[in-house]
Structure 1
Amino acid sequence: MPLEKSADFAAGYFDSTGDLTIHGHQFPSANTAIPELLGLPEKVNEAHRKFLDGVMRLDIFGIKKGGQIDGELTAPLRPKIPSLQPGATYLVEIVIRTVKMGHIFTQGTADSNEVWMDVELRNGKERIGRSGGRGVDGEVDPWAHFVNAYVLDREGNRIDRRNAQDIFVALYNHQIPPGAADVIHYSFKVPEDASGTVSIDAKLQYRKFDTTYMKYIYGKDHVNELPTVTLAVDSLTFPIAGKDTKGAAGSPAVPAWQRWNDYGIGLLRKGSKGARKGELRQAEDAFSQVEMLDRADGPLNLARVYVKEGRLEDAVEALRRAAAHKGLAQPWTVSWFTGIVN
């Protein structure tokens, strides 16, 4: 937030110039709707797009046989890519990771910010399935995964008109903390007659307001044409078993330990205690991989899993391994979880 000269009552001496200044709020940010609605030049929103570049990361991390969360996991995908069996069902594991921010994503008006996953699978030119497409009026597939907060009023109606005064409870909250991750599962069946390859393309899309809100403002026949910004992408191609084809994908720039760790954090956040353990067992497996790759994050995050599961003796042992690790970067975190265990 750049400093600007001002006589505002909140101005102060923030630097050595001796001038009264405030922190300017006119810098490019995530809001791409205002420039569009005001008819401003395209270069204005281009500055907003540059501001959003690299703030999120997508990783098509793994695939499970059988289409179930407890299926056999093949991961991390790339550099090796498994062949898919025609007629078989699989579960693709996609990790969404926050990268360049110091607050929860999206924060702010999380009920009306529209951030969603757009995922498409194809066998050659034939579409197997898509989640996150848009209709003729610009409305996003309601079954897509949205990174938002779905909040309700006392009558069970969604808060969809910026009527924050009516908020009663959140049905779900898919926001992601800074430096954290979420794991999204997509189940699909390979066609019986599949040949060649199966490709998957994933995008994390952002638009300031959803179609429901825009129709509330402009009428039921309005077409939502607000700018859409692609925050992150990932793609790869699986070969079909028994066919003379090869998969295609670049080598990830992110090291394997970090991919495992991001995957584990996404699973850890889904689990709670008691009967709501979610995928804590899978998170344990992921963090064990991180520990095997000689990172202190492995045993430290294993301790977090064990605390949630009530396995306090295992948590103590994991914290001891983390504290003794030569690469431990956050000793205060070990102290914190030691206090929780005690």
Structure 2
Amino acid sequence: MLPYPRRPITAPIDRTDAAVRRGDDARVDVVVRTRKVGHFFPGGTVDAFEVWLELQATDEKGQVLFWSGKVEDDGKGPVEPGAHFYRSLQIDGHGNPINKRNAWATRSVVYVHLIPPGAADTAHFRLHISENAGDKITLHAKLNYRKFSWFNTHFSFAGVEAEKAAQGKPSAASNASATAATTTPDYDDRKWAFNGDTSSVSGNLKTIPDLPITVVAEDTKTLRVLPRTALPPQPKTVTTKEDWTRWNDYGIGLFLQGDLKAAAAAFEKITEADPQNPDGWTNIGRTLLQEGDTAGARKVLEKSLAINPQLGRTNYFYARALKEDGDYDGAAAHLQIVLAQFPRDRVVRNELGRVRFLQKRYADAVKEFERTLSIDPEDLQAHYNLMLCYNGLGDDAKANEHKARYLRFKADESAQAITGPYRQTHPEDNNERQAIHEHVSVALAPGKQLSQKPKPTAARLTLPAATPSGKD
């Protein structure tokens, strides 16, 4: 057992007969996991299209009790700004969002929210159970995809500068003067109206299209609703050997947010369900290592190595623990086990190079970092550490060469200052920027009912529900 308090949780919903009380709030966690995807999700031009998570709660009377990720205009308009998005939100030098495929003007990033390959994301929603809710609440989660954002589609087909649209048709000279004052390669301050003439747009369609929304994955789960006077529902978890990946992915999502205590508690469920599964012990060790508890990390990682001594990820994290404790030879030996299986892993190469540097074996360290650059010539850590290694070798010329490349490729941290005013005027995006955040429902009309209830589908998303007090 792990020596820290647990956040009360009821999960998985479909195995615990989960219940909520009228008048209470409950946190619902939705896990989106990537499977057999060899790249970040989504991939491609993540500033251009829309991928978001939608969660809707309805009762047996057809009342909509909660809706996050709603699309305006009956599914044809923009996505509500408080949705949980998977994208890169970039802004220009004046804090305008990059939303017209004008990536050259990007000067800072508000947030980048993508799921690494073989990993997961855990989204949090705050559900209020109204007094007039029925006896059952159906949660319907959907992962949605639209090829281009609503704004970009309307801009491309019918975008007209709002000021010019209001003034009529000014002269060519005044057009050029106004444009020069409001847009440069660094920013675009123009405001847009979408009432332009579409008769001359390229393509056969001479109107603004309603791009389809594709449901990538979806799932439904049901909650029982208790009277306000009932006793509070007690937290309950069910762990089965077959569900280990659900707990693992839930924990990975929490870990990537920095919620290390909750992540470790989720990983412990794997060890309870199947003590011979090395992944549970490995990921507990990973969280302890992140917290700085190297002794605790080594203890649980050794349990994983006893099950599978060749498991690459366990050897990697065990090597990191050994390195932190000053056992450089031991760390190098375990990293060599990983590299024998994955010789082109840049992260492991860099870690071994760092160990050699700490041993003051600068020439050996250089070899490892050069191998990293043979895989990725822009690897930031490799250039930084090569700068240090060549300083140790007394080669100032090469040290300065890698220093220049490091400064060339590193992020401009001062550019984050540009995001301040934007985040003040866009609270939903500022919320999404936070590592751990919750989503609430859009405003719903009293007694709003669905025209058609969502159809249950095969389970693809895990929905652990938390009480109000609460592989990679």
TM-score, length-scaled by structure 2: 0.52
**What amino acid maps onto 1:239 in structure 2?**
R
CA positional deviation for 1:173:
1.4
- 8 A contact 1:118–1:132 mirrored in 2: yes
Structure 1 CA distance, aligned partners of 2:129 and 2:63? 11
**What amino acid maps onto 2:27 in structure 1?**
L
Picking from 161, 165, 177, the partner of 2:116 is 177
Picking from 44, 53, 76, the partner of 1:108 is 44
Corresponding position of 1:234: 219
Corresponding position of 1:40: none
Picking from 236, 239, 247, the partner of 1:260 is 247
Report SS of the residue matched to 1:187: strand
Picking from 21, 31, 41, the partner of 1:95 is 31
Structure 2 CA distance, aligned partners of 1:140 and 1:207? 10
Q: 135-144 or 95-104: which moved more? A: 135-144
**What amino acid maps onto 2:242 in structure 1?**
P
Structure 2 CA distance, aligned partners of 1:139 and 1:81? 36
**What amino acid maps onto 2:288 in structure 1?**
Y
Corresponding position of 2:286: 304
Structure 2 CA distance, aligned partners of 1:107 and 1:186? 25
**How many pairs does the alignment contain?**
257
- 8 A contact 1:114–1:146 mirrored in 2: yes
Q: Say if 1:320 and 1:329 are closer, same or farther in 2 by CA, change over 3 A.
A: closer
User: Does residue 288 of structure 1 match 2:275?
Assistant: no
Alignment of 1:92-171 (within 5 A): 92-124=28-60, 125-136=62-73, 138-171=77-110
TM-score, length-scaled by structure 1: 0.70
Q: Say if 1:200 and 1:223 are closer, same or farther in 2 by CA, change over 3 A.
A: farther
CA positional deviation for 1:119:
1.2
Corresponding position of 1:86: 22
**What amino acid maps onto 2:281 in structure 1?**
P
Structure 2 CA distance, aligned partners of 1:105 and 1:95? 14
Q: Say if 1:330 and 1:96 are closer, same or farther in 2 by CA, change over 3 A.
A: farther
Report SS of the residue matched to 1:128: strand
Corresponding position of 1:204: 143
Q: Say if 1:297 and 1:141 are closer, same or farther in 2 by CA, change over 3 A.
A: same
Q: Deviations over 1:110-169 (max 9, x none)?
A: 111211112111122111121111122521111111111112223222111111212222
- 8 A contact 2:146–2:212 mirrored in 1: yes
- 8 A contact 2:26–2:128 mirrored in 1: yes
Report SS of the residue matched to 1:78: helix
Q: Which contiguous aligned blocks of 4+ residues in structure 1 show a shift greater than 3 angstroms?
A: 221-224
Corresponding position of 2:446: none
Structure 2 CA distance, aligned partners of 1:262 and 1:189? 26
Stretches of structure 2 lacking an aligned partner (at least 5 in a row): 1-5, 159-193, 196-206, 229-239, 324-472
- 8 A contact 1:106–1:113 mirrored in 2: no
Report SS of the residue matched to 1:255: helix
Structure 1 CA distance, aligned partners of 2:310 and 2:147? 36
- 8 A contact 1:287–1:302 mirrored in 2: yes
Corresponding position of 1:189: 128
Structure 1 CA distance, aligned partners of 2:309 and 2:215? 33
Identity %: 33
Report SS of the residue matched to 2:300: helix
CA positional deviation for 1:75:
1.0
More helix by share: 2
Corresponding position of 1:218: 157
More strand by share: 1
Q: Deviations over 1:260-289 (max 9, x none)?
A: 000000001111xxxxxxx11100100111
Structure 2 CA distance, aligned partners of 1:71 and 1:192? 26
CA positional deviation for 1:329:
8.4
Structure 2 CA distance, aligned partners of 1:94 and 1:329? 34
- 8 A contact 2:50–2:86 mirrored in 1: yes
**What amino acid maps onto 2:84 in structure 1?**
H
CA positional deviation for 1:255:
2.7
State the structure with bigger RCO (CA 8 A, min sep 6), 1 or 2: 2
CA positional deviation for 1:242:
5.2
What's the C-alpha RMSD, in Å, of the aligned pairs? 2.3
- 8 A contact 2:10–2:16 mirrored in 1: no
Structure 2 CA distance, aligned partners of 1:268 and 1:330? 24
Q: Say if 1:85 and 1:329 are closer, same or farther in 2 by CA, change over 3 A.
A: farther
Report SS of the residue matched to 2:125: strand
- 8 A contact 1:211–1:223 mirrored in 2: no
Q: Say if 1:144 and 1:224 are closer, same or farther in 2 by CA, change over 3 A.
A: farther
Structure 2 CA distance, aligned partners of 1:150 and 1:87? 36
Report SS of the residue matched to 2:211: coil
Structure 2 CA distance, aligned partners of 1:224 and 1:239? 41
CA positional deviation for 1:193:
3.1
Stretches of structure 1 lacking an aligned partner (at least 5 in a row): 1-69, 244-252, 272-278
Corresponding position of 2:460: none
Structure 2 CA distance, aligned partners of 1:330 and 1:151? 42
User: Does residue 339 of structure 1 match 2:325?
Assistant: no
